[in-house]
Amino acid sequence: MGYVVDYQPTIDQEGVLKVISEYTGLIINSKISAGVQLIDLGVRLKFIGRLGAGLEVIDQAYASAKGIKCFNTPEGNCDAVAEHAIGMLLGLMNHINRADSQVRKGQWSREPNRGVELGGKTVGIIGCGNTGTAFAKRLTGFDVRILAYDKYKSGFGTGTIEETRLDAIYEYADVVSLHVQLTDETNYLVNKKFIKQFNKPFYLVNTSRGKVVNTEDLLWGIEQGLILGAALDVLENEKLESFSKTELIQFERLCSLDNVLLTPHIAGWTKESKEKIAKAMAFKIKGIL
């Protein structure tokens, strides 16, 4: 397209602020935030592209007011997220991490590690965009009932996906998987009130954003037996070195529970998704310019 591209993977927020006035476009991941200050300094900006799904790092309303186009590329890593969510769920229900750790220590413990089959269960999907749909697609071979709720979409039900209200997920779900953007509405979506509304204990999978789940309330739900286990690819604060005292205590409690599975925000982080995201980004930039 005739543009010079500067690739600076180690640059920090302050570094971007110092140079952004020189650039026509900005492509970021979750490390850089495009708020009012950055947008004001980006006097030449025509677009801001977010690698992956989360647009919460961009002040979209302010950027739009300045004539700057904003977009993301959720179609690039939705397959990776879906596969990771399935893997975490199966690992959680079958105690794979715990059993692996025990065998490595010379412990051959079978009965305490008896698993639970996914087949025959009801899976509730909250958010049926790119990743939610990809997750549902991969569930179809497991003989499960799939209930999907999306506040901002309709008409997405199929022969295998039941488009439903949140109340139905509360009533029937054995598993809940979160696939939503982080917004004012979804911040702490999963809290005590949410957990208490379920008719039976359930497994929770979160590959969306950490702040969609209130960590303290999640721990409460697990300790009360209302949540059977949690698979978390994301945390409220993912900069472990910056934990407050409260966050450190919560993290240590999570780590002490063998029905909690943790990964470092890598659900969409595959070799294939890196290329898919890049291609989707290039296509969208070409459309704008």
- Could you tell me if 177 and 109 lie in one domain? yes
- The neighbouring-strand residues paired with 232 are 206, 262
- Could you tell me if 64 and 107 lie in one domain? no
- Could you tell me if 164 and 189 lie in one domain? yes
Which structural domain, as residue segments, surrounds residue 123? 77-262
Please give the pLDDT value at position 96. 98
- Could you tell me if 88 and 45 lie in one domain? no
Please give the pLDDT value at position 134. 97
Please give the pLDDT value at position 72. 94
Among candidate residues 235, 36, 3, 210, the one with its CA nearest the CA of residue 27: 3
Half-sphere exposure of residue 90: CA atoms within 13 angstroms, side-chain side: 10
Q: What is the pLDDT of residues 244-282, one digit of tens each?
A: 999 999 999 999 999 999 999 999 999 999 999 999 999
In a domain, 8, yes or no: no
- The neighbouring-strand residues paired with 176 are 124, 204
Please give the pLDDT value at position 76. 95
Helices 74-93/130-139 angle, 10° precision: 40
Angstrom distance (rounded) from CA 76 to CA 237:
25
- Could you tell me if 92 and 39 lie in one domain? no
Residue with tokens 């939610």: 132
- The neighbouring-strand residues paired with 241 are none
In a domain, 27, yes or no: yes
Residues in the chain where the model's pLDDT stays below 70: none
- Could you tell me if 67 and 102 lie in one domain? no
Among candidate residues 174, 123, 113, the one with its CA nearest the CA of residue 149: 123
In a domain, 277, yes or no: no
Which residues are marked as active site?
209, 238, 265
In a domain, 273, yes or no: no
- Could you tell me if 66 and 81 lie in one domain? no
Of the candidates 46, 72, 98, which is a domain's last residue? 72
Of the candidates 28, 57, 72, which is a domain's last residue? 72
The count of domains in the chain is: 2
Please give the pLDDT value at position 121. 98
User: How far from chain centre, in Å, is Cα 181?
Assistant: 8
Please give the pLDDT value at position 28. 95
Q: What is the pLDDT of residues 207-227, one digit of tens each?
A: 999 999 999 999 999 999 999
Question: Which CATH number belongs to the domain containing residue 29 in this structure?
Answer: 3.40.50.720
Q: Kindly report whether the global pTM for this prediction surpasses the value 0.85.
A: yes
**What is the DSSP-derived secondary structure letter of residue 58?**
B
Residue 23 has a CB neighbour count (10 Å cut-off) of 18
Please give the pLDDT value at position 278. 94
- Could you tell me if 108 and 241 lie in one domain? yes
